[in-house]
Amino acid sequence: MKLILKAALLACVPTAAFAEPVVVPSAGSVSETVERLEASVEAEGARVFGIVDFGGGVKSIGEDVGDIQLVIFGDPRIGAQALSADRMAALDLPGKILVYDTDNGTAMAYEVPAEILAEWDIPADAPVLQVMASTLDKITSAAAE
């Protein structure tokens, strides 16, 4: 009976919660990658809204999780398309890219737009999802070098 209950509960959890992020290896340190990422975002006509320094925050309490920074950015030209389809998409916007240390160097990670916006009234084949995905690919590829 417990097994059936667990299976039923798991079936109720949105699949996006279990989606694997896209991970892009990057040359250099986390801070160097964040600098290149900021430049790449701006080169695409988007804007960096902020950077959350998780690693620095954790160090401030005497712990260490490594260098971890979250870059938050957006482009109103792209966001407007998603919000026109469903205003609730704003709960998952703006875009975010995590930059962090790994055992093999630095990496960037982001969620696939079609997966994070799947719960909203945006068709899976909506052009805005492809625009978002290709923009994420373009800016992380440029920042990786």
Tell me whether residue 127 is in a domain.
yes
Is the per-residue pLDDT at 2 higher than 60?
no
pLDDT for position 17: 52
Tell me whether residue 6 is in a domain.
no
Tell me whether residue 128 is in a domain.
yes
Residue 7's pLDDT band (cuts 50, 70, 90): very low
**pLDDT > 70: what percent of the chain?**
88
Tell me whether residue 9 is in a domain.
no
Tell me whether residue 139 is in a domain.
yes
How long, in residues, is the chain?
145
Q: What CATH number is given to the structural domain containing 124?
A: 3.30.310.70
The whole-number average pLDDT for the span 37-63 is 97
Render pLDDT for 81-109 as a digit per residue (tens, 0 to 9). Answer: 999 999 999 999 999 999 999 999 999 99
Residue 19's pLDDT band (cuts 50, 70, 90): confident
pLDDT for position 18: 63
Tell me whether residue 2 is in a domain.
no
pLDDT for position 38: 98
- Residue 70's domain comprises 21-144
Residue 3's pLDDT band (cuts 50, 70, 90): very low
Q: Write down the pTM of the prediction.
A: 0.84
Tell me whether residue 48 is in a domain.
yes
Residue 57's pLDDT band (cuts 50, 70, 90): very high
Tell me whether residue 124 is in a domain.
yes
State how many domains the chain has: 1
